[in-house]
Amino acid sequence: MRFLGFLLRRIVGIAAVMIGVSVITFAISHVIPADPAVAALGDHATDEQIAAFRSEYRLDRPLVEQYVTYAEGILHGDLGRSIRTRRAVIDDLVDSFPATLELSFTALLVSMLVGVPAGVWSAIYRGRPPDFVVRLLALAGGSIPVFWLGLIVIGLGYYQLGWFPGGGRIDAFVAPPPPRTGLYVIDSILAGDLNALRSSLLHLVLPALTLGYFSTAVITRMTRSSMLEVLGQDYMRTARAKGLRERVIVLRHALRNALIPTVTIIGLTFGSLLSGAVLTETIFSWPGLGRYATASAVSLDFPAVLGVTLLAAIVYPLANLVVDLAYYWLDPRIQRG
Amino acid sequence: MSYRRAPILFVIALLIAAACSQPPPASATGSPTPQPTAGGAASTLVYYADVSDLISLDPAVAYEFSGILVVHNAYDTVVKFEGADLANIKAGLATSWDTKDAGATWDITFKLKSGVKFASGNPLTADDVVYSLQRVIKLNKSPAFLFTDIAGIKADAIKATDASTVVVSLPKTASAQGFLSILTFTVGGIVDSKEVKTHETAGDFGSGWLLDHSAGSGPYGVDHWTKNSEVLLKANANYGGTKPALSGVLVKHVPESTNQQFALEKGDADVARNLSPQQIAALQGKTGIATTSGNSLLLVYLGMNATVKPLNDVNVREALRTAIDYDGIIKDLLKGNAKKVQGIVPIGLSGANESAPFQADVTKAKALLAQAGQTAVTLDFLVPTGQAPGGVAFSDLAAKLQSDWAKIGVTVNIKQTTTADLLTTYRAQKGQLVMIYWGPDFPDPDANVGPFTDYAAKSIAFRNGWDDKTIAAKGRDAALITDAAKRTTAYKDITEYVLHNGPYAVLYQPTELFGLRSNVKGFAWNPMGWLDFASITK
């Protein structure tokens, strides 16, 4: 019951965030000096065409009225029509979001699988060579710009070594799996199409490594510092004193406690993965939300920008919700309240 | 680590191993969707390009470079230009055409070729032509203004008099020559009316379906378009002309030019569309790579608002034009990737004026300023963000102009902003100096001379506050001349006048650069922004 209340409060919170975000984004996108009609119709448009466009997109109506119409649309599942692609924004999002989700999840998976053990290892070997190596790599991960890293990764993994494809989600001469989830890896497994699975996994490697490096670095550093803190606690000494094996001490007693701040970071990182995807997607020709968002913003496509922002406004709190649920599992004190 | 998890790990490991092993034979994949290409990579042209502008593959809707490229190869037009020539109109689906003075209108009669079939196998008749052209007007999408505004026609102006004859009645105010040029463009693509009508929903003239399908008689047809990823074209088995050598064309969306270069060098791409002049230079001499260029009809120019003092003085404008180092811009900034063009009609269109009298003459420019009674001039200079056509940053161009003008005592404050923002100011006649580019809407000099000279058209002349009624009238008259030689002479006179009196400094006409695999032959870029895939071999 307590859990249900907690969940309910969170859902109400997400709704409030969405209303706030929609109002702010709507206001910003409508008060900027450049005219979306000019942006959409370009240099050659006549004044009549621009007027017709403004009336089609209700840009000639008072701002409040425009917002009310827009909000009513959202409640009916209608996010409006994109100016740039001339399709329903919801269709564009459905097309591009799964690609970003697949990339971000893979990057997150890489970060957790690499970052947590690296952090633990580094903490155990504090002040010794393995620690220095891990700290150096983590420092680099936090400072290298994604755009540069992407070009290096593609230059090495594709151009020099030829081990991985240079971009896209799947080989041009392999049919994509029939869409069920929109995630190619999952869809390929569901369809039992090993050829598509192989191609989509290979295509994921370079962009996921590029996108995941920053978050790996953050997770490593967080795990390391919280492990160091936990390892210095009294109960660690007790555990050692009663003769537990080092392995048990580290994995059972230290890591579980050290993971709580790490989980927070993982939740926050997921948000940054979505925004980092903008550059990674461009370098790796990844047909995802990041690229859609950039293209929309550049062409002042406000219905699309609003759609992306609202989607992000759902994803961020959802990621935080998952983090809270993970706390619930990790820290019994929260369960007892 | 619990042993309970071992089986799960084992299954995951097995799955990854299976996925990374050699692919099984096609029959065993169990994939319900067909393989995307019949002939595979060997008989498919792989074309890497940034096609983020792709909106629709419907000839009545497409008006963006990527859409035009695809539509051009899937649809035939009634008349056409061949190769890179944009001066001589040739027979397309029509074997002949004839313009008659019908009193209130010009009537153009087209006689259609017999025996032409669409990709569906349906025969192409006059009804298809009427349906297709009327469809453009009724749908009223981006390119429709070419019919309704430029040619000034309504849907009922297009009629079929028998199964192989179509008559279009143009108002006397429109240029018959200009209309024929418009018909060569993708907006004049003829759709299979029987096929399209079966896909009509809610009076959309099948536009929802044609968004990502094709129903034409061109050498290729659209196999699929995966949004943001690729368009695959497959050879049309019912094509009446010379059969294309390659069975497919894959247009792959790759926005990053470094990635395009890598793929070209690795042999994964046959054509790379968006390489910078620096990348092209780096590729030259590499084994297996060839580079080529094509013409474009764009003009990068500077607008000088003649309502702003001292730009209202023709001598000040002439001084600014005279001070610019055009050769330096082309040679150093653009690495030779442009033509020195200073007239308002680009080279490639009839009526282009090749005279380029200006080149960094500081003494003359200073004298012109003195003649205008000006010694120190300060102006705002509006510049777009991003790359200018030809592959140089607009900001670099602006800095170069700023330093050229500093030499004659003219100070400019560079204000860089997005194109949309810049256009909002420019359109409202609120700019002082504005740098931007222009491309003609259809391959005819009228598409440039009209906007650049006619204040009443509320286009470029209006934005620069240049209201010269004499030259505007001359421009309108020239468009209506039917004799080709007389028309060309009239346009030369107009462009010569604008060169010294207009509020513009045309900076250059960019060249398009392409990286190709050296086995790709028959690649000929048309300045209108397309290429005949059917003539390419590899």
| Spacing of C-alpha B401 from chain mean position | 27
Lowest mean pLDDT among A36-40, B300-304, B412-416: A36-40
How far is the CA of A152 from the CAs of A159, A207, A325, B521, in angstroms? 10, 11, 38, 32
**CA-wise closest residue to B379 among B319, B455, B460:** B319
**B59: preceding bond cis by omega (within 30 degrees):** no
Neighbours of B530 (CB within 10 A): 17
The pLDDT value recorded for residue B1 is: 38
Burial of A8 per CB tally in 10 Å (0-12, 13-18, 19+): exposed
Contact between B36 and A283 using a beta-carbon 8 Å cutoff = no
Contact between A299 and B420 using a beta-carbon 8 Å cutoff = yes
> For residue B33, is pLDDT > 70?
no
> Is some CB atom of chain B closer than 8 A to the CB atom of A37?
no
> Is some CB atom of chain B closer than 8 A to the CB atom of A203?
no
pLDDT (tens digit per residue) in B375-421: 889 999 999 988 899 888 999 999 999 999 999 999 999 999 888 78
> For residue A206, is pLDDT > 80?
yes
pLDDT (tens digit per residue) in B518-537: 999 999 998 888 899 999 99
User: Could you tell me the pLDDT band of residue A1, with boundaries at 50, 70 and 90?
Assistant: low
**Rounded CA separation B350/B178 (Å):** 11
**Chain B residue numbers touching A34 (CB-CB < 8 A):** 418, 420-421, 424
The pLDDT value recorded for residue B5 is: 47
For residue B420, give how far its alpha carbon lies from the nearest alpha carbon of chain A (Å): 4
The pLDDT value recorded for residue A19 is: 85
Contact between B34 and A175 using a beta-carbon 8 Å cutoff = yes
More confident residue, B467 or A328: B467
Lowest mean pLDDT among A274-288, B297-311, B357-371: A274-288
CB neighbour list of residue B429: distance below 8 Å, 6 or more residues apart:
B305, B307, B462, B463, B464, B465
Nearest-by-Cβ selection for A198 from B23, B40, B227: B23
**Chain B residue numbers touching A102 (CB-CB < 8 A):** none
User: B92-126: buried (b, 16+ CB within 10 Å) or exposed (e) per residue?
Assistant: bbbeebebeeeeebbbbebbbbeebbbbbebebbb
The pLDDT value recorded for residue A334 is: 67
Lowest mean pLDDT among B30-34, B152-156, B344-348, B486-490: B30-34
Lowest mean pLDDT among A55-64, B281-290, B355-364: A55-64
**Rounded CA separation A293/A97 (Å):** 11
Q: What percent of chain B is predicted at pLDDT more than 70? A: 93
The pLDDT value recorded for residue B209 is: 94
User: Could you tell me the pLDDT band of residue B15, with boundaries at 50, 70 and 90?
Assistant: very low
pLDDT (tens digit per residue) in A159-169: 999 999 988 89
Lowest mean pLDDT among A5-9, B154-158, B199-203, B353-357: A5-9
Give the pairing type, strands B392-393 and B220-226: unpaired
> For residue B272, is pLDDT > 70?
yes
Instruction: Say which residue the tokens 């680099």 belong to.
Output: A140
**Chain B residue numbers touching A169 (CB-CB < 8 A):** 229
**CA-wise closest residue to A179 among A166, A164, A165, A191:** A191
> For residue B18, is pLDDT > 70?
no
Taking the CA atoms of chain B, what radius of gyration do you get in angstroms? 26
pLDDT (tens digit per residue) in B172-195: 888 888 899 999 999 999 999 999
More confident residue, B421 or B75: B75
Average pLDDT over residues A14-19: 84
Taking the CA atoms of chain A, what radius of gyration do you get in angstroms? 24
Residues 235-264 of A with CB under 8 A from B: 251
**CA-wise closest residue to A281 among A292, A272, A270, A271:** A292
> For residue B357, is pLDDT > 50?
yes
List the Cα angle B249/B115/B60 in 5-degree steps: 50
> For residue A33, is pLDDT > 80?
no
**Chain B residue numbers touching A247 (CB-CB < 8 A):** none
The pLDDT value recorded for residue B176 is: 87
Contact between A47 and B458 using a beta-carbon 8 Å cutoff = yes
Instruction: Share the mean pLDDT of chain B.
Output: 89
Size of interface A-B (CB pairs under 8 A): 149
**Chain A residue numbers touching B256 (CB-CB < 8 A):** 167, 282-285
Phi, psi for residue A94 in degrees, rounded to 5? -60, -35
> For residue A194, is pLDDT > 70?
yes
Closest chain B residue to the Cα of A290, Cα to Cα: B228
The pLDDT value recorded for residue B40 is: 62
Contact between B149 and A167 using a beta-carbon 8 Å cutoff = no
CB neighbour list of residue A148: distance below 8 Å, 6 or more residues apart:
none
pLDDT (tens digit per residue) in B95-149: 999 999 888 899 999 999 999 999 999 999 999 999 999 999 999 888 898 999 8
**Chain A residue numbers touching B419 (CB-CB < 8 A):** 39
The pLDDT value recorded for residue B29 is: 35
pLDDT (tens digit per residue) in B456-513: 988 999 999 999 999 999 999 998 888 888 999 999 999 999 999 999 999 999 999 9
Which tokens hold the place of B530? Answer: 């397309």
> For residue A8, is pLDDT > 50?
yes
Neighbours of A105 (CB within 10 A): 17
**Rounded CA separation B97/B79 (Å):** 9
> Is some CB atom of chain B closer than 8 A to the CB atom of A194?
yes
> For residue A336, is pLDDT > 70?
no
Closest chain B residue to the Cα of A94, Cα to Cα: B227
pLDDT (tens digit per residue) in A252-300: 788 888 888 888 888 878 777 877 788 889 889 898 888 888 888 877 8
Residues 35-94 of B with CB under 8 A from A: 35-37, 40-41, 46, 52, 55-56
Nearest-by-Cβ selection for A34 from B252, B254, B420: B420
